[in-house]
Amino acid sequence: MSIRIDHEKCIGCKTCYNDCPMDVFTCDDAPGSKPQVTYAEECWHCGICWMDCPKRAIDLTTPASFW
């Protein structure tokens, strides 16, 4: 599965960063900074980040080979 943040939509609320149980995201403490996908290989594909993002800025793509 690939996980990506659309930084055009992202408002920097850090919900994905705070909610991810696997710490897939990193984020600078500076005001206005936006989370980055740093550890995609650690992703459990639970979808919490996608569900909780208020701007739907998270894109989760599952390759056919995953199933």
Task: Give 2-66's CATH code, choosing from 3.30.70.20, 3.90.45.10, 3.50.40.10, 1.10.260.40.
Answer: 3.30.70.20
What is the residue extent of each domain of the chain? Answer: 2-66
Locate 42 and state its tokens.
């650690």
Is residue 67's pLDDT more than 70?
no
**What span, in angstroms and rounded, lies between the C-alpha atoms of 47 and 28?**
23
Give the pLDDT of residue 65: 67
Lowest-pLDDT range of 4-8, 43-47, 50-54: 43-47
Mean pLDDT of 33-47: 93
Global pTM? 0.84
